[in-house]
Copies of this chain bind each other. A is one copy, B any other.
Amino acid sequence: MARTRNSDGYPSFAVTVDLVVLTVRDDELQALLVSRGEEPYLGRRALPGGFVRPDEDLPDAASRELAEETGLHQVPGHLEQLATYGAPDRDPRMRVVSVAYLALAPELPDPRAGSDAAAATWVPARRALSQRLAFDHHRILRDGVERARAKLEYTGLGAAFCPPEFTVARLRRVYEAVWGVELDPRNFHRKVTGTPGFLVDTGRTVVEGPGRPAALFRADPAAELSPPLTRARLG
């Protein structure tokens, strides 16, 4: 494997960004995976990602890759740094340090087949985590899913999985899908509407099938839930 030093005499690394992109589709937490079109791990599923450019900041590289994979610019939802993975043997070609980002997106149109990525597809998180992925992407995906689950507890981040305006039931199904639990609709409603600043009532309602029309809300993206919703206690 290449172990080079750059022109200044410091050890030389390649730097990539890898993306854990999560959404809730069909009441299920799903992750975006690509199929690798080259060695190593040819044909294996992997997280979308790519090399950081020489003059590109890390968040910019993450947004760029996300836009390339999903075909969407100005990705709605949420993008945050997850963690960095740099084991010396994680890429057999050379020393690569990967900065992983976590993106939470509302249900998007199917990934662009015509885009840069090789067949990016949504895969249920449970299934994605039960198959072999390229590199150390299994661990990165696991860390990303766990981060998302944890963050829903104490932030209003669940709304990042919803379109700009949504009902309480929609938000509740997000929590149920991400945590894999059932929540009491009445207590959930009281909790989220009673947290000051979390949800903003638009004054409008929507009818979705039978039942009383539901109020439409908008999310305050920076809201914190205090006290938190707790996976262990809700139900």
Contacts of A56 on B, CB cut-off 8 Å?
88
State in angstroms the CA–CA spacing of A142 and B37 once bound together: 41
Residue from the list B13, B88, B93, B232 in contact with A13, Cβ < 8 A? B13
Interface size for A (C-beta < 8 A) is: 40
B230 touches A86 (CB 8 A): no
A51 touches B (CB below 8 Å) = yes
A196 touches B (CB below 8 Å) = no
B2 touches A94 (CB 8 A): no
Contacts of A85 on B, CB cut-off 8 Å?
58
B11 touches A87 (CB 8 A): no
A7 touches B8 (CB 8 A): no
Distance (whole angstroms) from the CB of A78 to the closest CB of chain B = 16
A208 touches B (CB below 8 Å) = no
A141 touches B (CB below 8 Å) = no
**0 or 1 for each of A27-69: is its CB under 8 Å from B? (1 = yes):** 0000000000000000000000001111111100000000000
B2 touches A97 (CB 8 A): no
B233 touches A8 (CB 8 A): no
Contacts of A4 on B, CB cut-off 8 Å?
6-7, 12
A227 touches B226 (CB 8 A): no
A2 touches B6 (CB 8 A): yes
Distance (whole angstroms) from the CB of A156 to the closest CB of chain B = 16
A94 touches B230 (CB 8 A): no
Distance (whole angstroms) from the CB of A93 to the closest CB of chain B = 7
Distance (whole angstroms) from the CB of A105 to the closest CB of chain B = 22
State in angstroms the CA–CA spacing of A230 and B153 once bound together: 14
**What is the chain B residue whose CB lies nearest that of A57?**
B87
B2 touches A58 (CB 8 A): no
A15 touches B (CB below 8 Å) = yes
State in angstroms the CA–CA spacing of A97 and B95 once bound together: 14
**What is the chain B residue whose CB lies nearest that of A85?**
B58
Contacts of A51 on B, CB cut-off 8 Å?
10-11
